[in-house]
Amino acid sequence: MIFDTHAHYYDSAFDPDRDALLSALPEKGVRLAVCPGCDLDSSRASLALAERYDYLYAAAGFHPENLEGAALAALDQVRELCAHPKAVAVGEIGLDYYWVRTPEGRANARDFFDAQLSLAQQLDLPAIVHDRDAHKDCLDIVRAHPDSRGVFHCYSGSLEDARVLVDRGWMLSFTGNITFKNARRAPEVLRWLPLDRLMLETDAPYMAPEPHRGERCDSSLIPLMAATVAQLRGLTTEEVLEITLENGKRFFNIKEG
Ligand SMILES: [Zn+2]
């Protein structure tokens, strides 16, 4: 009963065998998955995949690394894409100060994040937030939208920041990086996190869990993340999968699956 809340199946890493892989995932226990876009083309591609596979849902938005040449007016098209019956979130959006280094680039990314979080609120959709090396500014923008709801995906922040998000009703989602031997902050956060705020994801094709680190990842590997959480919380892997399935369905307002 796997719910992979974040997998980029339009990525070219899946070009050789996308349909064979996606057709086979339900037999491997995948009940639901969400494919977030990173710009208009990938958001459209996510929705097209969601139309083909019942268990697949999509999100539309501009990733902070994909803002080159984009204007805020393009958010009108994100709004239109979000009207699709299988669009369940605005995303992925956020800030990435690892890749975006210039002050102008970062200011532009903050404008996009701010506007897309407002859009999510207007559409009554959750937001899928990418935060890399930009914890403080991400939290400031979330604080400026007190009625927004969302998830920090591939959570990499501190326990202190996690408390701020949880107090605001937000979710945290974790990838295969929690299985890495050098994982430090994530285990601390996972030992504390209220279980109703937890979601799991692959961020496929990246972030494959141990012992597949560095390989192409897909949703069938989610039980390896669940096993890590189970160990930290004294639960079974099955229990963690069930909890994260229910959390994801509630968060994305998905009735089936
Ligand atoms: Zn992603």
Quick one: pLDDT band at residue 183, thresholds 50, 70, 90? confident
pLDDT at 257: 66
Q: How far is ligand 1, taken at its centre, from the CA of residue 7, in Å?
A: 7
pLDDT at 10: 98
Q: How far is ligand 1, taken at its centre, from the CA of residue 38, in Å?
A: 8
Q: How far is ligand 1, taken at its centre, from the CA of residue 93, in Å?
A: 9
Average pLDDT over residues 113-129: 98
pLDDT at 65: 94
- Closest by CA position to 10, among listed 54, 51, 41: 41
Q: How far is ligand 1, taken at its centre, from the CA of residue 203, in Å?
A: 5
Q: How far is ligand 1, taken at its centre, from the CA of residue 5, in Å?
A: 10
- Angular region, 61: left φ>0, alpha ψ -120 to 50, beta rest: left
Helix segments in the chain, DSSP class H:
18-24, 40-52, 75-81, 103-123, 135-143, 159-167, 185-192, 222-233, 237-252
pTM above threshold 0.95: yes
Q: How far is ligand 1, taken at its centre, from the CA of residue 201, in Å?
A: 9
Contact 31, 55 (CB under 8 A): yes
Q: How far is ligand 1, taken at its centre, from the CA of residue 47, in Å?
A: 15
What's the mean per-residue pLDDT of the chain? 96
Contact 130, 154 (CB under 8 A): yes
Task: List, for residues 187-232, the tens digit of each pLDDT value.
Answer: 999 999 999 999 999 999 998 999 999 999 999 999 999 999 999 9
Average pLDDT over residues 100-107: 95
